[in-house]
A = this chain, B = another copy of it.
Amino acid sequence: MTGSPSSARLSTAEIIAVGTELLTPFRSDTNSLFVTARLNELGIVVRRKSIVGDDAVDLGRAVRDALDRADLLVVCGGLGPTDDDLTRETVAAVLGRTLREDPSIVEHLRTRFAARKWTMPENNRRQASVPDEAVVLDNPRGTAPGLWLETGDRVVVLLPGPPRELEPMFTALAHTRLASRAAPERLYRRVLRVTGRGESHVEEMTQRVYDRWRQVDPPVGTTVLASPGLVELHLSTRAASREAALGVLDAATGELAAVLGNHLFSTDGRSLSEVVGELLQRDGFRVAVGESCTGGLVTARLVDIPGSSSYVETGVVAYSNEVKRRVLGVDPELLTTEGAVSEAVAVAMAEGARRVGATDIGIGVTGVAGPGGGSDEKPVGTVCVGVVGPGSEQEARTAQFPGDRAMIRRLATQTALDLLRRVLLRRTRERATVRGG
């Protein structure tokens, strides 16, 4: 025994993911994203991530090196019952600890197997081996217990690889042992989601504001992350006081919201489909979709949200002009004069979908997703979106998107949902004006 446990603060961490399959082209480590999120909340910064195979020499070296650098080492994977699961033995060897079988774990494993009317394979006894002075972390969803080991001021945590086992175990740890060893400062985050404007445009609109919030106390840091059709501003601040942190985050969010206006659609983690769904539910509107180049993706994204059956009535994929005419009732003359990819046809498709579904609102999407089908006048990437309703309102937009077929379809879907959002928001403003006036 090396005496009482340390109470030194943990501020830096490294993560090691163990498994030869993680060194193939087919699997990547995702546990570390989850672990990093929880550590960051505790104000612990991840300095390095390493991925090693099921090899005692490589793993031992990685563990030794990491303990030279970081306060906390989280090792994910390699706690299974088979011969290539080497994490327990390797870490014990690096720390110079003896492994002993814990009879209560053996008993627990036997009971677990018996409950499924199986006999425990002898292999699984390995999972009951515990290094001296280790704390056993219960695994409610699997046979591999986790381990918490202290060595001087440093901590090593061993967790099983399957995310559904690791995640609840690490969350429990973050609320208990890790929280008590972290500094009193915690990390608080807010994510602002923007659509309809590109990354550089969003930076241009917001930089002066977020630069200023870097100077306050506690300072608010901002990272801009862009993916197709979506720009996110990640605000974060470290503070010992929750009130102080939320105070600056709320104020910074308010100022950024003011400059972003309607382009900002979420400050609380909601996706665009969720925001649109809530606006539809608020007003009791039902929606129908008529889509061509997006091939079902607009409907699929709306239906992604649990409870969406209360506001999504129907979606019709109308690839050919024949179906646009016959099912959505698009005027053949319009298809000839304006072309299938036109705002007039997008609106007619929206109108047709609304009639088919007998809904308040219709959405229409038509475009050239490629790789074929483009022309000089309407090159690949040309997409027209229309929204009709509620009532006689109608709105359309044409966009020219870059990228391949998948990217164009994704951007078209995002644009259709965003146009619907803006139409619904305008009603909010109008109602507020009426009420206010």
The B-contacting residues of A in range 30-56, CB under 8 angstroms, are 30, 32-34, 36-37, 40, 45-53
A316 within 8 A of B: yes
Q: Contact at A319–B314, with CB atoms within 8 Å?
A: yes
- Decide yes or no whether A436 CB sits under 8 A from chain B: no
Q: Which of B289, B303, B405 contacts A306 (CB 8 A)?
A: B405
Known: A317-B312, A317-B316. A26 touches B303 (CB 8 A): no
* Neighbour of A300 across the interface among B32, B223, B297, B356, CB < 8 A: B297
The contact of A323 among B62, B322, B357, by CB within 8 Å, is: B357
Q: Could you say which of A17-25, A99-107, A245-253 contacts chain B? A: A17-25
User: Within residues 296 to 326 of chain A, which ones have a CB less than 8 A from any CB in chain B?
Assistant: 296-300, 302-304, 306-309, 312-320, 322-323, 326
Taking the closest CB of chain B, its distance from the CB of A240, in whole angstroms, is 22
CB nearest neighbor in B for A406? B304
CB <8 Å contact, A314 and B316 = yes
**Cα–Cα, bound, A340→B357 (Å):** 18
- A277-B25 Cα distance, complex, nearest whole Å: 27
Range of interface residues on A (Cβ < 8 Å): 35 or more
User: Is A27 engaged at the interface, CB distance under 8 Å to the other chain?
Assistant: yes
CB-CB under 8 A from A357, the residues of chain B are 323, 327
8 A Cβ contacts from A325-365 to B: 326-327, 356-358
A118 to B191 Cα, complex, angstroms: 33
Contact with B along A160-203 (1 / 0, CB 8 A): 00000000000000000000000000000000000000000000
A391 within 8 A of B: no
- The reply on A437 being an interface residue by CB < 8 A is no
Query: Bound state CA distance, A319 and B296, in angstroms?
Result: 14
A304 to B: closest C-beta gap in Å: 7
Contacts of A289 in B (CB 8 A): 317
Q: Are B47 and A49 in contact (CB under 8 A)?
A: no
Q: Using Cβ atoms and an 8 Å threshold, which residues of chain B touch A32?
A: 28
A370–B308 Cα distance when bound, in Å, is 11
Q: Judging by beta carbons under 8 Å apart, are B50 and A58 in contact?
A: no
Q: Indicate whether A3 reaches chain B with its CB closer than 8 angstroms.
A: no
**Inter-subunit contact B40/A33 (CB<8 Å):** no
Binding site for B on A (CB under 8 A): 21-30, 32-34, 36-37, 40, 45-53, 58, 61-62, 65, 69, 223, 225, 234, 289, 294-300, 302-304, 306-309, 312-320, 322-323, 326-327, 356-358, 370-373, 405-406
List 12 A-B residue pairs with CB atoms under 8 Å apart, sorted by A's residue number.
A21-B223, A21-B225, A23-B36, A23-B45, A24-B223, A28-B28, A48-B53, A289-B317, A295-B312, A296-B297, A304-B406, A326-B358
